Structure 1
Amino acid sequence: MIIKNILSTQIQLLTPQHWKDYELIDCGNFEKLERFGDVILIRPEPQAVWPKTLSEAEWNKRYHIKFKGRSATTGEWAKKDPHAKDRWHISYKNNDAAIKFRLGLTSFKHVGIFPEQAVNWDYITESIKSFSNPKPKVLNLFAYTGGASLIAKGAGADTTHVDSIKQVVTWANENQEISGLTDIRWVVEDALKFVKRELKRGNTYNGIILDPPAYGHGPKGEKWKLEDHILEMMQDVVQLLDPKEHFLILNTYSLGFSSIIVENLIKSSFPKVENLEVGELYLQATAGPKLPLGVFGKFRKFSK
Structure 2
Amino acid sequence: MIALLTPQHWKDYELIDCGDFEKLERFGDAILIRPEPQAVWAKVLPEKEWQRLHTIKFKGRSATSGEWIKKDKNAADRWHIDYKNNDVAIKFRLGLTSFKHVGIFPEQAVNWDYISERVRSFKTESPKVLNLFAYTGGASLIARAAGADTTHVDSIRQVVTWANENQDISGLDNIRWVVEDALKFVKRELKRGKKYNGIILDPPAYGHGPNGEKWKLEDHISEMMQDVVQLLDPDEHFLILNTYSLGFSSVIVENLIKSAYPQVQNLQTGELYLQATSGIKLPLGVFGKFYKNR
The normalised TM-score by structure 1 is 0.96
Q: Which residue of 1 aligns with 2:59?
A: 68
Q: CA deviation at 1:40?
A: 0.3
Partner of 1:192: 183
Deviation, structure 1 residue 95: 1.1
SS in 2 for 1:281: strand
Equivalent-residue separation in structure 2 for 1:13 and 1:174 (angstroms): 32
In the alignment, which residue of structure 1 is the partner of 2:36?
45
Q: Distance in 1 between matches of 2:78 and 2:265?
A: 42
What code does the residue aligned with 1:185 have? R
| Matched residue SS, 1:244 | coil
- Equivalent residue pairs, number: 294
Deviations 1:218-267 (CA, angstroms, capped at 9, x unpaired): 00000000000000000000000000000000000010000000000000
Q: 1:286 aligns with which of 265, 277, 288?
A: 277
Q: Distance in 2 between matches of 1:15 and 1:233?
A: 27
Gaps of 5+ in 2: none
Q: Give, in whole Å, the separation in 1 of the partners of 2:84 and 2:220.
A: 34
Look up the match of 1:172. Answer: 163
Distance 1:29 1:83 in 2: 29
Instruction: State yes or no: 1:265 paired with 2:234.
Output: no
By how many angstroms is 1:70 displaced? Answer: 1.2
3-state DSSP class of the match of 1:57? Answer: helix
Instruction: Give the C-alpha shift of residue 26 in structure 1.
Output: 0.2
The one-letter amino acid of 1:286's match is T
Match of 2:17 in 1: 26
Q: Which amino acid aligns with 2:125?
A: P
Partner of 2:210: 219
SS of equivalent residue, structure 1 residue 67: strand
Aligned with residue 277 of structure 1, among 268, 276, 283: 268
**1:118 counterpart = 2:105:** no
The unaligned stretches of length 5 or more in structure 1 are 1-9
Aligned to 1:247: 238
Q: Which amino acid aligns with 1:39?
A: A
For 2:85, the equivalent position in structure 1 comes to 94
- State the secondary structure of the residue aligned to 2:120: helix
Q: 2:125 & 2:20 partners in 1: Cα distance?
A: 48
Amino acid at match of 1:140: N
1:229 aligns with 2:217: no
How many percent identity over aligned positions?
83
Letter paired with 1:182: D
Query: One-letter code of the match for 2:207?
Result: G
CA–CA distance in structure 2, aligned partners of residues 46 and 69 of structure 1: 13
Q: Secondary structure at the match of 1:19?
A: coil
Q: Deviations over 1:143-177 (max 9, x none)?
A: 00000000000000000000000000000000000
User: Partner residue of 1:7?
Assistant: none
Instruction: Give the partner amino acid of 2:36.
Output: E
Give secondary structure in 2 for the equivalent of 1:268. Answer: helix
Deviation at 1:112?
A: 0.1
Distance 1:189 1:271 in 2: 29
Q: Give the Cα–Cα distance (whole angstroms) in 2 for the partners of residues 95 and 171 of structure 1.
A: 25
One-letter amino acid of the structure 2 residue matched with residue 255 of structure 1: L
Displacement after TM superposition at 1:134 (Å): 2.4
Distance 2:73 2:32 in 1: 14
SS at match of 1:12: strand
Runs of 4+ displaced beyond 6 Å? none
Instruction: State the one-letter code of the partner of 1:266.
Output: I
